[in-house]
Amino acid sequence: MGRVRSLFRNLFRKHDVERALDDELRAHVQMLVDEKVAAGIDEARAWREAHMELGGMDQAKECVRNARTGARLELVLQDVRYAFRTTMRAPVLATVVILTIALGIGANTAVFSVFNSVLLRPLPYQNEQQIVAVFERRINENGARSPLSAPDFLDWRKLAGSLDGVALYDTRQLSITNDGGAELVPGAYVTAGFFEVLRVRPKFGRTFVVADEDPGRQQVALVSYGTWQRRFGGDAAILGKLIYVNGAPVQVVGVLPDGFRYPFAADCDLFLPIRFSTDQRTFRGIHAFNGIARVRDGRTVEQAGAEMDVISRQIEHQHPDTNSGHIATLMPLREQLAGRLRPALLVLLGAVSLVILIACANVANLLLARATVRTREIAVRAALGCSRQRLIGQSLIESAVLATTGAVLGIALAWWGVAALRATFFSRLEFFGTAGLDTIAMDWRVLIFTLGWALASTLLFGISPALAGARIDLTEGLRSGGRGMTSADHHHFRSALVVIQVALSLILLTGAGLLGKSFLRLTSVNPGFQPEQVITATINVPGSKYRSTEQAAMFYDALIERVAALPGVRLVGVTDILPLTGNDNRTGVLIEGSVPRPGERRRMHPRLVSPGYLEAMGVRLLEGRMFAAADGSGKRHVAIISDAAARQYWPEGSPVGRRFATTVENAPWMEVIGVVGAVRNRALDQDATLDVYLPLRENPFRHAVTRVTLAIKTGNDDGALASSIRAAVGSIDRSVAVSEIRSMESHIADSTAPKWFNLVLLTLFAGIAIVLAAAGLYGTLAYIISQRTSEIGVRIALGAQRSEVLRIVMRRGLMLAIAGIGVGSAASLAVTQLMSKLLFGVHPRDPLIFSVIPLLLISVALIASYIPARRATRLDPMAALRGD
């Protein structure tokens, strides 16, 4: 009979085992009796003596039970059952503790996991810490960042020894034409060496070489693994196949490996080599590209950066007119990708930490409260002979039951939280430019850390009653209410906990309030146009077919005519740059009759528009007139400027009739014919750009405008418009791709989505914090009342009014709350300074918020105090006086 078999038998066949023991002992007694009777003792006495010798049937059985294998395990199981029973007796407290733990674990893990995935996890490239983003800093413009120009890049490619490769990239949508029509897919133009910088080898074929950048040769392309599978069916003969991109034939020369992620977009199906136009190649002033590079193994980013500094100054020296003050700057790629998210995530981190602290304080509070209430029970059990070890063990198990349930729930919550965050928010990663990070997963280390920490604190505070209880004077504990159990120390500790909770909640609420006000300010900003009932659609014409500005403009004119005839369309126009979509163009300008101040760089932001665009978008006309159909063709070159530009460059008098020219070579003088309201192009919380609107045919750039956005003011919210638009486009030219038909309002919402996300999360946390703090306050007050029941009973019996009792209790609660608010306000004043980067139009010490929030908390505290206070007034004085 092995130990293991005995264990099983003892646990699961208890009934049989017990019966056998009973039989054996009875048999033993019987034989004893026989012995005695045989020795002459009478039967009755024999029985008595036999039982006495046995030492009592039950005691004997107990001794055997204790010696059995699995006896200790059984004790534990017994304690667990007991723990469940006691937990069930106080369901509210148990639920609150469990939920608090679950919330702490879940929220903490979810947020930290996301934080870790996005900010801390290395990029999926070999030696990724050596990959840097390359951009230019303009010393003369306060270190403003700028994209790169081709000639500079070509020089760097030659000269930079500490870089093991530098490449440019330009993320764009490309249109692939097949029998069904043209379709826009996410793609990118990259220079040779791009994939080598990332240390990515193609699955088949080759990557780009410098020769591919030569415009005279057959255009080539690389496809992603997914595209190869989906679009080409995993065709083994993909290499050498011709596909039509942007209307021109392109030969596939390679397939990228599965699992490769383009760092700058959520997806990238197609890569083409960058072919610099003659302008781009010769004019150092045209900055159109972004760059990455790999720092040579063995060199640090700082060393490489220093070398780039030197090279930049060399180039500056050689080309002072275009490059003065331009310094090439390197930044680790990971930082560039995640950098925009950093402030938001830091706020999150702070919020989560505060919530955790509050949660812990709550758990501690509640468990201590429970401890003091059960002093008597523990005293009784100790008096009945329960060993100290067993008492502590039981307490431990009770806490463990709570902690484990909370932990299981917490893990589930964490799982769900990560999934929810990933789905609702991080699926639109483009907002943050942190593409390629969709593998956000729950971080096990964080989970284990949080779990361990939560369990530890629960167990610690859970066994304190047993630890203390085992030491107390038993008679003291058995007497009325067990008041004497160092409750004074506990009392202060718990009061301090409540004050801390209130303070922390205040900080969170203040933060949420500030963000809320900031968001309201943001959304009430006048964008400069009227987005209501405006539908937009992106139109992409193949550059190979529409080579000249005139060809493209003719297409757009025809399209506008067709679309204007559709039912429900009131106004329509096109533009090359839609506000709030992250696009921009910039050009230097010369103002007739005015000389720039020393160091002043005159710039405007050109927007090519058709007549009707400004009207469709509801941009207000302030002076002069809007474009007519005749503008742009013919000898007169006209333009409309925004009033921001007007005030900047023509501060006196009306700019209408005055002239200016772009700094592009051979640019004509343009006459201002109208002034319109400024439009916030970049973001609602950034200043309006100095816009100049030009007719489509006045395109100052050499290349035709192949991509425009159609803006349509509709008379009603008509969903069927989308298909009509596609039909209209297709009826003119089937090789033109239409994509992203959506409302202007959705563009605006997208631009404010990050702030919205922050606000929602912070408010959520603040809400949780308030609930927890209120629960803590309520619990503390309830406990105080229960401790002072007899005192309250006496007061009532002696004639105190119920209202007076109410006042006494509530005053206590209010004092705690006010103390918390005081501490919290002081802390908030310091903490909110850290948030100032996230605020718009709101001062970090906004007086309105700082006065409203404390009032809010006081009202919550009043309610939380009122409930237990009211119960105190309902006390039956006789029952109270009788003593628990």
Residues that bind another protein (CB under 8 A): 1-3, 6, 21, 23-25, 27-28, 30-32, 34-35, 53-55, 59-60, 63-64, 66-69
> Please, what is the minimum distance in Å from the beta carbon of residue 62 to another protein?
9
> Please, what is the minimum distance in Å from the beta carbon of residue 18 to another protein?
12
Contact 670, 677 (CB under 8 A): no
Between 43 and 884, whose beta carbon lies closer to another protein?
Answer: 43
What angle do helix axes 847-873 and 802-831 make, rounded to 10 degrees?
150
> Please, what is the minimum distance in Å from the beta carbon of residue 71 to another protein?
10
The Cα 573–Cα 608 span in angstroms is 11
Between 4 and 120, whose beta carbon lies closer to another protein?
Answer: 4
Phi-psi region of 298 (alpha: psi -120 to 50; beta: other; left: phi over 0): left
> Please, what is the minimum distance in Å from the beta carbon of residue 8 to another protein?
11
> Please, what is the minimum distance in Å from the beta carbon of residue 388 to another protein?
23
Query: How far from the centroid of its chain's Cα atoms is residue 273's Cα?
Result: 35
> 150 exposed, middle or buried (CB, 10 Å; 0-12, 13-18, 19+)?
buried
> Please, what is the minimum distance in Å from the beta carbon of residue 381 to another protein?
24
> Please, what is the minimum distance in Å from the beta carbon of residue 400 to another protein?
29
* Type of residue at 143: G
Q: Half-sphere exposure of residue 850, counting CA atoms within 13 Å on the CB side?
A: 16
Between 9 and 802, whose beta carbon lies closer to another protein?
Answer: 9
Torsions phi, psi of 572, nearest 5? Answer: -150, 150
Between 30 and 475, whose beta carbon lies closer to another protein?
Answer: 30
> Please, what is the minimum distance in Å from the beta carbon of residue 28 to another protein?
5
Between 23 and 473, whose beta carbon lies closer to another protein?
Answer: 23
* Residue bearing tokens 């995530």: 345
Q: How many CB atoms lie within 10 A of CB 638?
A: 21
Q: Half-sphere exposure of residue 148, counting CA atoms within 13 Å on the CB side?
A: 28
Between 25 and 75, whose beta carbon lies closer to another protein?
Answer: 25
Query: Which tokens go with 847?
Result: 């007086």
Between 18 and 128, whose beta carbon lies closer to another protein?
Answer: 18
Between 1 and 595, whose beta carbon lies closer to another protein?
Answer: 1
Q: Which residues pair with 169 in a beta bridge?
A: 190, 290
The Cα 575–Cα 431 span in angstroms is 22
- The answer for residues whose C-beta is within 8 angstroms of residue 588's C-beta and 6 or more apart is 285, 601, 602, 603, 662, 663
The Cα 777–Cα 362 span in angstroms is 9
Between 66 and 686, whose beta carbon lies closer to another protein?
Answer: 66
> Please, what is the minimum distance in Å from the beta carbon of residue 784 to another protein?
50
Between 41 and 331, whose beta carbon lies closer to another protein?
Answer: 41
Among residues 557, 581, 506, 516, the alpha carbon closest in space to that of 749 is found at: 581
Between 73 and 797, whose beta carbon lies closer to another protein?
Answer: 73
> Please, what is the minimum distance in Å from the beta carbon of residue 387 to another protein?
18
Between 34 and 687, whose beta carbon lies closer to another protein?
Answer: 34
Three-state SS for 639? strand
Distances (CA, A) of 69 to 9, 24, 44: 10, 19, 37
> Please, what is the minimum distance in Å from the beta carbon of residue 54 to another protein?
5
Between 1 and 798, whose beta carbon lies closer to another protein?
Answer: 1
> 81 exposed, middle or buried (CB, 10 Å; 0-12, 13-18, 19+)?
exposed
Q: How many CB atoms lie within 10 A of CB 505?
A: 32
> Please, what is the minimum distance in Å from the beta carbon of residue 64 to another protein?
5
Query: Which tokens go with 585?
Result: 């163009």
> Please, what is the minimum distance in Å from the beta carbon of residue 47 to another protein?
14
Contact 395, 463 (CB under 8 A): yes
DSSP label of 875 = -
Exposure string over 461-475, b if 16+ CB within 10 A, otherwise e: bbbbbbebbbebeee
The Cα 493–Cα 502 span in angstroms is 14
The Cα 143–Cα 159 span in angstroms is 24
> Please, what is the minimum distance in Å from the beta carbon of residue 44 to another protein?
19
Query: Which tokens go with 697?
Result: 């045919």
The Cα 612–Cα 627 span in angstroms is 7
Between 31 and 210, whose beta carbon lies closer to another protein?
Answer: 31
